[in-house]
Amino acid sequence: MTWFYKILEDLPHVPQHLIERAYEQMDTELEQMPQGEQQIDWNKITTDTIIVDGVKKINAPNLAYSLDDEMRDWVYDNITDKSVVNIRIAKADTGKDGKDTNGAHCDLSRNYSLIYLLDGGGEDHKTVFYHEHGKPLLRNNGDRCNDHSLLDVVESFQIPLRTWTVIQTRILHGVRNIPRPRISIQVGLNNVEGLGISE
């Protein structure tokens, strides 16, 4: 049976000094991922129009900034060192021009995202998983659907603050109700074997 997310309360909290260092990385140079031909076009995804509940909006994607070797070492020693694709801090590009929704997408660089949420971006924030009409639930990396009228909501939940939560990122997903920047430490994974979870 397909699962959408798992809350991993037994994983250790990120030390405060690493959180502070992660915040210092925000608004520096955007991470280019993956390397090569399929790099994210940051210009495009920050200006894409999405249609949500019949209303046209500008997409509010996560902007990603790489974290340093100390954070990587802490993750490898305390969380997992298997199938790690990237370790970064992400900040949703919200607030301007009513941007409050991260549109339905599958992550380009990873199959799972292990998230340590520092700021939810709004009191009623929710992570939503979708199934596009006529398409399989499990999709290709990088797939998107900007017209939400073509989607059925199959699951939604609120990621708890400062608690590791893993989500399936090859299922279309997005975030709603984020009027301010949503900030998280994220560990991209190709599989969840190192977390002791079955796929």
Supply the pLDDT for residue 45.
66
Find the mean pLDDT for residues 129-146. 96
Whole-model pTM: value is: 0.93
Does 32 have pLDDT greater than 90?
no
Q: 39-93 pLDDT, tens per residue?
A: 566 667 678 899 999 999 999 988 888 899 999 999 999 999 999 999 999 999 8
pLDDT surpassing 80 at residue 30: no
Answer whether residue 133 shows pLDDT above 90: yes
Which residues make beta-bridge pairs with 90? 64, 184
Q: Is the pLDDT of residue 121 over 60?
A: yes
Give the residue extent of every domain in the chain: 5-193
Q: Which CATH number fits domain 5-193: 2.60.120, 1.25.40, 1.20.5, 1.20.58?
A: 2.60.120
